[in-house]
Structure 1
């Protein structure tokens, strides 16, 4: 491993979750880069834990599609999607997340709508690039997950979250000068859901995802 992991002090009562969050962050921030082989024993030594919580964390990451396991070869970080795979993922997002937005407008409680509106107004302040990037990624993921939760369909939410894992691998290439535009789109979406307008909510999500696809596709041109 060429770069040290950004490890906070691990707490024994939550050791498994701490190891998982540390490795997940390392994958999403490309400290463990797409295609890298993952050495369980080396990670265990660096994190000062036994191999068991590392294996458990990697199994969770495999279920999310962030790492892959091959017989006798161990784990590797999942590669970035090709352009075709990326477009296929966004086609699926359009199907699933537009439905989630429509159902959220129909099913969310008043308190849930207030929570979504509050979440949509959050912004990320400047700072260290890695920290700022991680904060924006978490904010965006949280909002999309909240819309999926408000759809009141656990299966739909699970399907959406699996797609987002692949998107997160590409977020290092996101044009962050356009975050203000993304935040405006989030606010329009939240307002439509709070207004209990399914057609408007679906249209707001469709517009947001269509524009998000275009913003991300620029990375394939470099």
Structure 2
């Protein structure tokens, strides 16, 4: 039998990173919150060293920043930063789904359809829905079969975690996004590159509008 290498156990630093990222994702750690190594180590019941490693990785991701007089805090996205992220997404994601319409295999299309079915089941769960949304978009990138598309667009997904699950609180937008995802997969299955690009542009426009609206309403409150 061929030798199957054993999977390496997760290091304490990786475990701390995953837990802190999840805390940001769920809103347990909110934008602007101060980040204390000692407090987080006590909260996670681990030593300071892996927490420091995790914080360093989160700084690299842009999820933690250093502010004068405050120290490290959870980063905040303002509406201009969201617009800048979407400016890149408007260029790259329609190109990616156009490639996917040409390159996706039958097996990959089957998986995308399964993901659509799962999405329907989590529409009422904001946190799981947002996680699944990122998984779905990352799956779309992979079906483009272009390593540079995958790495670039996957990196753009990380900052969106800072908006938290509250961006999924608009029922109409959730249903619109679900319908757009469904149509997008069928355009890819039909190898309709132009149609897939058009659906993605509509999808991004709706998402950008919802996220900017959320941020501006937060500022008013």
If the length of structure 1 is used for normalisation, what is the TM-score? Answer: 0.83
For residue 177 of structure 1, what is the aligned residue in structure 2?
A: 171
Residue 158 in structure 1 maps to residue 170 in structure 2: no
Question: Please, which of 89, 92, 100 is the counterpart of residue 96 of structure 2?
Answer: 100
8 Å Cα contact 2:35-2:74 kept in structure 1: yes
- Structure 2 runs not aligned, ≥5 long: 1-7
8 Å Cα contact 1:66-1:77 kept in structure 2: yes
For residue 114 of structure 2, what is the aligned residue in structure 1?
A: 118
SS of equivalent to 2:77? coil
The CA deviation at 1:161 is 2.1
Instruction: Return structure 1 stretches of 4+ with deviation > 3 angstroms.
Output: 69-74, 124-127
For residue 191 of structure 1, what is the aligned residue in structure 2?
A: 186
Residue 79 in structure 1 maps to residue 76 in structure 2: yes
| Counterpart Cα distance in 2 of 1:181 and 1:166 | 23
Question: Please, which of 82, 85, 89 is the counterpart of residue 89 of structure 1?
Answer: 85
| Counterpart Cα distance in 2 of 1:221 and 1:79 | 13
The CA deviation at 1:45 is 1.5
- Structure 1 runs not aligned, ≥5 long: 1-11
Question: Please, which of 118, 122, 138 is the counterpart of residue 131 of structure 2?
Answer: 138
8 Å Cα contact 1:173-1:216 kept in structure 2: no
If the length of structure 2 is used for normalisation, what is the TM-score? Answer: 0.84
Matches within 5 A, 1:47-66: 47-66=44-63
| Counterpart Cα distance in 2 of 1:111 and 1:16 | 36
Query: How many residues are treated as equivalent by the alignment?
Result: 206
Q: Call closer, same or farther: CA 1:64–1:199 in 2, change over 3 Å.
A: same
The CA deviation at 1:135 is 0.3
Q: Call closer, same or farther: CA 1:213–1:126 in 2, change over 3 Å.
A: closer
8 Å Cα contact 1:108-1:150 kept in structure 2: yes
SS of equivalent to 2:72? strand
